[in-house]
Structure formats: structure tokens, C-alpha cells
Amino acid sequence: MSLPKITFLLGALFGALALSACSTADTQQAQPARVFVTATPGSPADAPPERNLSGQVTLQALAVSPISTPLPTPRSTAKPSLGQVMILEYHSIGDYEDYLLRSAENFRAEMEYLREHGYTPANLIQMTEGFPNLSPGTKPVIITFDDSDISQFRYLDDGSLDPDSAVGILYDIHQQHPDQWPLKATFYVLLDVNGPQRILFGQPESAEKKLNWLVEQGFEVGSHTISHFDLATGNGYQVQYQLGESQRLLEEKIPDYKVRSFAVPFGSFPLNPDLLEEGVWEGRPYTYTSNVMAWGGPALSPYDPDFDSYYIFRIVAEPNEIAYWFDHFEQNPELYYTVPQ
């Protein structure tokens, strides 16, 4: 059994406790538990939560302090040729800070930090392929977004891209630094949930336009199931519907595109985890080549013998956790994966 799977089983013991307080995304409230589950807001959170003024800080002001859930210990035996990769997990972007909500100001500061420290954005699928198109010496970082919230990709009333949405910020940095900051990020989207702001970025008249624009610009679109379904609670029929039908619908909306990446909602696996890799829905086979977790810390590089493309760890983009790992790799650069010279 690979190291990621062993680590997953240990984490699942804690994750099960947190999941017992959760339902599906239709009714899920953000829980205080950290790291072990993706606590996606449900319909009661359609109204803005109470303002958390203490969260309004810049990246430079974030103290590297202990957090409520212990972070995984970095691999002390990691070699420069193997190393680890940061895969950052974002959900919503707003004008203040709350659990799983990053302010536009802090999101931009985090992206600028990565650029200034020599990181290059890549899509998740590039990682599973071994980063074949990255130049020697490149330090890849993967920026991921769950739940296709409107704050990730919004058009203004005049049809222009919202500069304070996640895509608007990534696009602006690319325009200023095209050689340093390619348009790469992976979006795990939903298709039918009780929260219209999370159905394919919340503007139904522009849904297909947005999906195709993302792919045309170089971003990646992946599946997060149809309805943020807890795969651990479903039978084989339900699981294959959520995986197969979501892939079919997305590929129907994005002609000549293959959806290959998946993100398990709540960090919760089906009873038969092989269904994440392949299955059949209504006579149509589906396949995924990768799956990302909802927790875990830095991911192993694809060249590590323990790397498993269906158990890829991520870093939840909360202030303390993200600041911890930024500082960790700044202090220990030899532990980060760099494309060999």
C-alpha cells in the first residue's frame, strides 16, 4: 500500500468524525473543522456571513502560528529530484476573510508572492503527466478551485471580466508578467446544486461561454460531481452517475475537450475507490486520470515512487496554513520539486 493511501486512511479516521456533522452541499454549513473535509457552504450561506474584521490582513502580516489541526510533517528524506509540490485549494473570493473565503486582496497577494519567489502555475493534469512542458529549473505550483462559485469567475453588467474575481486577478497578473505567470489553474465545477451561485460560476446565460473561455486560455476544467455528492454514502449506481454524467455534460458543453481531473467532495471516497478511475453510466464508459484530496499538505512529486494520481494531497488556502507552507519552502527550498536541469 502506497504512503498516500496509508496517510489517507489515518486521516479518514478524523475525517469521519467531521463528516458525521455534514450533509450534502444542499444543506452543508461551513464547519469549524479544518483540513480533513471540504466544508462547502450550502444554501443557508447564500446570504453573506457575519463580517470577520480580524481576518482582514495582508499576506505580509500573516503570522506563522499554530493552527487548530496539526499539519502533516514534511518528508525528511525528500530529495531535490523528488521533492514536493504545493497544490492550493481555494473556494470563494470576496472582500473580507472567513472560513474558506479569501479576500481578493489576500488572494492577489498570495499569487504575487508565488510569482516573486519563482513559482510557475501549472494545471493538475500537467502534474500527472510529469510536467512535460515546463523548462528546467521551474518550480511548479498548482492553483485549484472547488465548487465553481461565481466569485471565481464573474462577468460584470457591461460584459467585462470582474477584476476582483479569481480569474480576473490571475488574468491581470498574466497581462503584467506574461513570461513569468502563464494562465494555468484547475477548476473543479458543479452542475446542479441548491445554490445557483455555484452552478458553473453562477451566471447561467454565460456558463458555456465561461467554460470554453477557460479552456481556450489554458486553464483546466475538472469535475467535482454533479451536485457535491458525498461519494461514501452512495451505491455503485449513484457514484457512476455522479462521475460519468458530470464528465459527459461538461464535455458536451466544451467541444473537443476531455475532462480528466476529479476532486472528491468532502474528501470522501466511494466504497469502491476504483470507480474514481473508470466506470460506466448509461452504457457510456468514463475515465479519470487523477483525483485530488480535500486536505493533506504538499503533494509528492509525480516522480516519487509513492505518488498515486488518485490520492493527491492539497493545501487548504487558509491564512495560517498557506503562510506556514510558504515559509516552510522558503526556509527549505531543497524540499520543493524543481524540474531537473
Domain with 294 in it: what CATH number? 3.20.20.370
- Residue 54, domain member (yes or no): no
Q: Which of 98, 1, 3, 99 is nearest to 296 (CA)?
A: 3
What band does 75 get if pLDDT is binned at 50, 70 and 90?
very low
Q: Judge whether 291 lies within some domain.
A: yes
User: Rounded distance, CA 267 to CA 269, Å?
Assistant: 7
Residue 252: inside a domain? yes
Check whether 69 has a pLDDT greater than 90. Answer: no
Decide if 171 is inside a domain: yes
Share the mean pLDDT of the chain: 83
- Residue 163's alpha-carbon distances to 98, 121, 155, 199, 336, in angstroms, are 20, 19, 9, 21, 31
45 part of a folded domain: no
Residue 154 belongs to some domain of the structure: yes
User: What total of structural domains would you count in the chain?
Assistant: 1
Over 80: is that where the pLDDT of 295 sits? yes
Task: Say what the pLDDT of residue 341 is.
Answer: 82
pLDDT at position 101, please? 95
Domain limits for position 98: 83-205+216-335
What does the pLDDT average to over 25-29?
35
* Of the ranges 14-18, 46-50, 313-317, the best mean pLDDT one: 313-317
In a domain, 166, yes or no: yes
pLDDT bucket at 47, cuts 50 / 70 / 90: very low
Q: Taking 80 as the threshold, does the pLDDT of residue 258 lie above it?
A: yes
The answer to which of 56-70, 133-147, 196-210 has the lowest mean pLDDT is 56-70
- Identify how many contiguous H helices and E strands the chain contains and give both numbers: 8, 14
Q: Which amino acid is at 191?
A: L
* 29 lies in some domain: no
Mean pLDDT for 284-291 is 98
